[in-house]
Chain A
Amino acid sequence: MTIQMPSRRMILLGGLGVTGALVVGSVAYVAWPRSNIAEADALAAKPNERFINNWIKIAQDDTVTVVIPHCDMGTGIYTALPQMAAEELDADWTKVKVEAAPPDSIFANGPLGEGFILSTQNMTDQDLPAFARGMVSNTFRTLASFMNLQVTGGSSAVRATGVYGMRIAGAAAREMLIKAAAARWNVDPSACVTKASRVVHTASNRSFGFGQLVADAATYSPSASPRLKPKSEYTLVGKSIPRVDIPKKVNGTTNYGLDVVQPGMLYAALRIAPVFGGKLKSVDSGPINGKRGIVKTVRLDDAVVVVADRYWRARDAVAALDPQWDAQGNGAVTSGQIAARHDAALKGDDLKKDMNKGDGADALNRGRLVEATYNVPYLSHAPMEPLNATALWHDDGTLEVWSGTQDGLGSRAFCAKVANLGMDKVTFHLLPMGGGFGRRLPGYFNFLEHAVRTAMALPGKPVKLIYTRDQDMQHDYYRPNVTSRFRAALDAHGMPVAWLNDYTTDSGANNEAHIVYGIDNQALRTAKVETHIPTGPWRSVEASWHGFFIETFVDEMAHAANIDPVEYRRRLLKDAPRHLNVLNTVAEKAGWGSPLGPNRARGVAIFECFQTIVAHVAEITLGQGGVLKVDRVVTAVDAGMAVNPDGMKAQIEGGIIYGLSAALNQEITIDKGAVVQANFPDFEVVRLADCPQIEVHLLTSDAPLGGAGEPGVPPLAPAVANAVFSATGQRIRSLPLKNHNLTIAQR
């Protein structure tokens, strides 16, 4: 599954802002499909309006403001990205401030020199708006393919925005400041260095603060290829600088989407057609007529909404209604039927080739056959902040929306489309999110649509629409339910000579099904199974299922070969030195092979995703009556290097716990075409009592920076499942673990 988004392109600009600050950064615009180029032209043609990407502003008082094109969902990027910018700029960290980029900033800073364009590969001038044609620098064509400029997802902020935006803008600004200082002193720029927000002429020991140079620096164009520091020169990147967002998160003053307050605001609660794709047939508003505070009953295509002066009045009123739904033919679907369709598809003759290596399936008869079939369930994201949005359909026909989403620009465009307005008629206020995990990415904006359509029925009134937890859980875009059938042939030494994997998909082939293990003959095929259940990216996306499948099956092969699971993986990874290093580190730190007490066992798994390699060793205790407790998780991580090591550890810890909740307890099942689970008692999450001790070991390598938010998740479930096998001899081939005669301990 890939996340489909409009591509974005960017230009590096520099100049003097209205406040007299030096402004350097990259402007992005959304490259909508070709037919919408005219729209981009129209926007760009307005002299001072551009979509903002990442900016560095240097004020005359030396303050450096780093503008972040992503929203905060708790991953620490409001600290890590400024660290990267300040590093290249050689800014004094105590003078660095951070700001969120509005998704529609009017950048009224006067004329700016345009340096170069980052554009997508194979893009022709015709794909560009008129203002940008003829300005494409080949140097940066490939870089721009990483750019999803306002999307916060795919563990991309640091490895895309940071590496290709923040660092370059910081380095370009630094060069402009040096040029300005060198000109004043009439010396060669190469004789100058930067340190702690000052340009220093080394020979004479003269210096200027950055603020003194901004006006002169703004007269230079930013370089298309500024010098970037090698790691050996880093003084900020690689340090565990405290997160800038945390103080406001311990005193209740961070304003999330749910906390928006507008004058005269009304509240909306709704009931959504329980069966996905279902329609509202009718609803009698009689039972709530005359109840206190009720303003309006709004009938939408797929929902009924009650708007009231207070949220609880709207919530109680909508619960008192008896809406009639049309299930659109899906009202009898069950999880059992979906499982049967997976089986039929995998046994059928309509499998599509994903990849073939060596002799592929023909090599299956060259050794002892090992085979196993695995399944993972649908999963809900269940972020702590239930989905919500506030919308105001102004009397002049423009729209204003407030919400926390993983893409401000995409949200603005989505709302424009729902309201059938031009982008310029829509204002979107992007707010911090109480968790995202993929749920708030573009493509999954049902909550925005419900809010906008409700507001359109109440012109002039701001309306805050809030999903209940039940609606959040039952109207998600789920981690797909996937089945995978493996076959392998083991040679006389127990090592695989053939690896076959047929897996179901509701979209297309999955990159994460491709293995790093050195096996000469491989064949991967997909079996398409489409259902009416909406699916979407869930923390670590495809890796969340393929990690479990691959790493459990490798464990099965090791067992069949009678070889220790760590040693078996070592042999398969002999040509993958980074993976080998991660594996050896986790084995050593966890004391792999050392004796454990009675009823205790270890399991291992290793997986790479989003350019980060993570290995976990899980230690479990299996008590009387199958009571399972995960005591300890030891982890090794190679993400190249960590921009903020403590922040990366926090993300890996979070990934472990998110993955553990899913592995132990969570599944979304379908009955009568709808989701059975509704709230936390039936979609249980790990709490303090069942949170293991976690030890994260960060490794450094020469690899490009990898992601942090997602890579901790995939190897967690197989590490625990392999530990259960080690303890019991019972192989876990489906999740969650609670379905295998195990009781999940509450310590």
Chain B
Amino acid sequence: MIQLKINGQTHDLDVEDDAPLLWVIRDEVGLTGTKFGCGIAQCGACTVHIDGNAQRSCVTPVSSVVGKEITTIEGISANGNTPVQQAWIDHQVPQCGYCQSGMIMAVTALLKENPHPTDEDLANAITNICRCGTYPRIRSAVRELAQKAAAPVTTP
């Protein structure tokens, strides 16, 4: 038995130590927002947060994340309205949408570390693949998020 903490909930799972986290999340736990794209940590469709850091779950053995906080796209907000998700809607980012769970997880982790990323910071940090070609909108969405984060907090 392996115990994993996913989106704040503890799951006792009867899986092998080297079972890939991606498939355990999808098929054992039943959270299908995290996607399979390449299986070799190239495309980032399977990105989740491990203790707040973006990590590609398709090559992550479950034994390596025991005792850590695992967060999936389902776990970042109850209503799909984090600033990143809202910016994705405002900038009409997704097309087929399949890569976007991974994109949003990767960008969310980046913004936590660096709230004001430049285009270059973004390009260096986010190597996820989108075949529909939503990069220009991702760039404009992140520019807005970086600016908002930079703006002084106003009180009514």
Check B97 against A434 for contact (C-beta < 8 Å): yes
Closest to A712 in B: B133
Cβ A384 vs Cβ B94 within 8 A: no
Q: How far is the CB of B21 from chain A (nearest CB, A)?
A: 10
Query: For B40, what are the chain A residues with a Cβ–Cβ distance below 8 Å?
Result: 469, 679-681
Q: Which A residues lie within 8 Å of B96 (CB)? A: 72-74, 383-385, 432-436
Residues B138 and A688 in contact, CB atoms below 8 Å apart:
yes
CA distance A311 to B98 in the complex (A): 19
Tell me, rounded to whole Å, the shortest Cβ–Cβ distance linking A327 to chain B.
26
Contact mask for chain A residues 631-652; partner B; CB cutoff 8 A; 1 contact, 0 none: 0000000000000001100110
Closest approach, in angstroms, between the C-beta of B60 and any C-beta of chain A? Answer: 12
A250→B95 contact, CB < 8 A: no
What's the nearest-Cβ distance from chain B to residue A541, in Å? Answer: 17
- Closest residue of chain B to A434 (Cβ to Cβ) is B98
Is the pair A252, B129 in contact by a Cβ cutoff of 8 Å? no
Across-interface contacts of B88 in A (CB, < 8 A): 246, 250
| A435 and B98 alpha carbons, distance in the complex (Å) | 8
Known: A74-B94, A680-B129. A653 touches B136 (CB 8 A): yes
- Which one of A310, A434, A679, A688 lies within 8 Å of B35 (CB-CB)? A434
Question: In the complex, how many residues of chain A place their beta carbon closer than 8 angstroms to a beta carbon of chain B?
Answer: 63
Contact present for B73 and A312 (CB under 8 Å): no
Interface readout for A502-517 with B: 1 if CB under 8 Å, 0 if not?
Answer: 0000000000000000
Asked whether any CB of chain B lies closer than 8 Å to the CB of A747, the reply is yes
Within the assembled complex, what's the spacing in Å between the Cα atoms of A171 and B33? 39
Nearest-Cβ distance from residue B154 to partner chain A, whole angstroms: 26
Main secondary structure of the interface of A (DSSP, over half): loop
| A656 CB within 8 Å of chain B | yes
- The CA-CA distance from A112 to B149 in the complex, in Å, is 58
A292 vs B18: C-alpha distance when bound (angstroms): 13
- The answer, yes or no, to whether A255 is at the interface (CB within 8 Å) is yes
Point out the residues of chain B lying under 8 angstroms from A679, CB to CB.
38-40, 42
* Listed residue (A249, A384, A436, A691) with the most chain B CB atoms within 10 angstroms of its CB: A384
Q: Are A386 and B37 in contact (CB under 8 A)?
A: yes
Q: Please report the C-alpha to C-alpha distance between residue A428 and residue B138 in the assembled complex, in whole angstroms.
A: 35
* Contact present for B95 and A74 (CB under 8 Å): yes
User: Counting CB contacts under 8 A, is A657 at the interface?
Assistant: yes
Choose among B15, B98, B100, B139 the residue that contacts A688 (Cβ–Cβ < 8 A): B139
Interface residue B134 (Cβ < 8 Å from any Cβ of A) = yes
Q: Closest chain B residue to A657 by CB distance? A: B133
Task: State in angstroms the CA–CA spacing of A680 and B85 once bound together.
Answer: 27
Instruction: Say yes or no: A468 contacts B94, CB within 8 Å.
Output: no
Residue from B34, B94, B133 having most chain A Cβ neighbours under 10 A: B133
Q: In the complex, which of the residues B20, B33, B92, B131 contacts A251, with contact meaning CB atoms closer than 8 Å?
A: B33
B99 within 8 A of A: yes
Residues B43 and A694 in contact, CB atoms below 8 Å apart: no
A76 beta carbon closer than 8 Å to chain B: yes
Cβ-defined contact, A312 with B20, below 8 A: yes
A402 in the interface, Cβ–Cβ < 8 Å? no
Cα distance A681–B72 in the bound complex, in angstroms: 26
Interface 1/0s, chain B 91-131, versus A by CB < 8 A? 01111111111001000000000000000101110111111
In the docked arrangement, what's the CA distance between A249 and B73, Å? 11
Interface string of B19-61 (1 = CB under 8 A from A): 1100100011011111111111011010000000000000000
Q: Is A245 interfacial (CB 8 A cutoff)?
A: yes
Q: Tell me if B137 is interfacial: C-beta within 8 Å of chain A.
A: yes
CB of B74 within 8 Å of the partner chain: yes
Determine if B77 is an interface residue (Cβ-Cβ < 8 Å): yes
Cβ of A578 to closest chain B Cβ, rounded Å: 25
Are A688 and B122 closer than 8 Å at their CB atoms? yes
Q: A250-B80, A250-B85, A680-B43 are in contact. Are A653 and B133 (CB under 8 A)?
A: yes
With contact pairs A249-B100, A251-B74, A679-B40 given, residues A385 and B89 touching in the complex (Cβ less than 8 Å): no
User: In the complex, what residues of A have CB within 8 A of residue B2's CB?
Assistant: none
B66 contacts the other chain (Cβ, under 8 Å)? no
B37 touches A435 (CB 8 A): no
Residue numbers in A under 8 Å from B93 (CB-CB): 246, 250
Is A689 part of the contact surface with B, judged by Cβ < 8 Å? yes
**B16 in contact (CB, < 8 A):** yes
Which residue of the partner chain, among A73, A267, A384, A747, contacts B129 with CB atoms under 8 Å? Answer: A384
Chain A residues with Cβ below 8 Å from B30 are: 261
Q: Would you give the 0/1 interface string for A280-302, flagging 1 where the beta carbon is closer than 8 Å to chain B? A: 00000000000010000000000
Most A-side CB within 10 Å, residue of B79, B96, B126: B96
Contacts A310-B27, A434-B97; is A685 near B36 (CB within 8 Å)? Answer: no
Contact of B124 among A261, A436, A653, A689 (CB under 8 A): A689
Complexed CA–CA distance, A240 and B114 (Å): 32
The answer to whether B127 touches A687, judged by C-beta atoms less than 8 angstroms apart, is yes
Cross-chain contact B32 with A246 (CB below 8 angstroms): no
CB neighbours (8 Å) of B134 from chain A are 650, 653-654
Partner of B34, one of A252, A386, A688: A252
Q: Which chain A positions have C-beta within 8 A of B20?
A: 312
Q: CA–CA, A255 to B33, complex, Å? A: 8
User: Cα distance A254–B33 when bound, in Å?
Assistant: 8
The minimal Cβ–Cβ distance linking B124 to chain A, given in whole angstroms, is 7
- Residues of A near B33 (CB, < 8 A) are 251-253
Q: Residues 423-451 of chain A: 1 if any B CB is under 8 Å from the residue's CB, otherwise 0?
A: 00000000011111100000000000000
Shortest C-beta distance, B98 to chain A (Å), equals 3
A75 at interface (Cβ–Cβ under 8 A)? yes
Which residue on A lies nearest to B23, using beta carbons?
A312
Docked-complex contact A247 and B97, CB < 8 angstroms:
no
Determine whether the beta carbon of A688 is less than 8 Å from that of B123.
Answer: yes
B23 partner, pick from A292, A310, A432, A433, beta carbons under 8 A: A310
A250 touches B100 (CB 8 A): yes
Q: Given A384-B43, A650-B95: A252 and B72 within 8 A (CB)?
A: yes
Q: Are the CB atoms of B135 and A687 closer together than 8 Å?
A: yes
CA distance A658 to B74 in the complex (A): 29
Residues of chain B lying within 8 A (CB to CB) of residue A329: none
Contacts of A687 in B (CB 8 A): 123, 126-129, 135
Question: Is A368 an interface residue when CB atoms closer than 8 A count as contact?
Answer: no
**Cα(A172)–Cα(B121), bound, Å:** 54
* Known interface pairs A261-B30, A385-B35; A688-B133 also in contact (CB < 8 Å): no
Chain B residues with CB under 8 A of A382: 131
Nearest-Cβ distance from residue A366 to partner chain B, whole angstroms: 44
Q: How far is the CA of A312 from the CA of B23 in the complex (A)?
A: 7
Does chain B have a CB within 8 A of A256?
yes
The answer on a CB contact under 8 Å between A386 and B36 is yes
In the complex, the chain A residue whose C-beta lies closest to that of B86 is A250
Known: A258-B35, A688-B138. Contact between A242 and B89, CB under 8 A?
Answer: yes
Give A117-138 interface residues, CB cut-off 8 Å to B.
Answer: none
A278 lies within 8 A of chain B by Cβ: no
Instruction: Indicate if the CB atoms of A252 and B32 lie closer than 8 Å.
Output: yes
Contact status B27-A650, CB under 8 Å: no
| Among all A-B residue pairs, the 6 with the closest Cβ atoms | A252-B33, A434-B98, A657-B133, A251-B80, A249-B97, A74-B96
Give 21 CB contacts A-B under 8 Å: A76-B95, A242-B92, A250-B97, A251-B33, A251-B73, A311-B23, A383-B131, A384-B99, A384-B129, A384-B130, A384-B131, A386-B36, A434-B98, A653-B134, A653-B136, A654-B134, A658-B132, A689-B124, A691-B123, A691-B136, A747-B123
**Given contact pairs A242-B92, A654-B133, a sample of 9 additional A-B residue pairs in the complex whose CB atoms are under 8 Å apart:** A249-B94, A250-B104, A255-B32, A256-B35, A383-B96, A466-B36, A651-B95, A688-B127, A688-B138
The chain B residues found within 8 Å of chain A, CB to CB, are 15-16, 19-20, 23, 27-28, 30-40, 42-43, 45, 72-74, 77, 79-80, 85, 88-89, 92-101, 104, 120, 122-124, 126-139
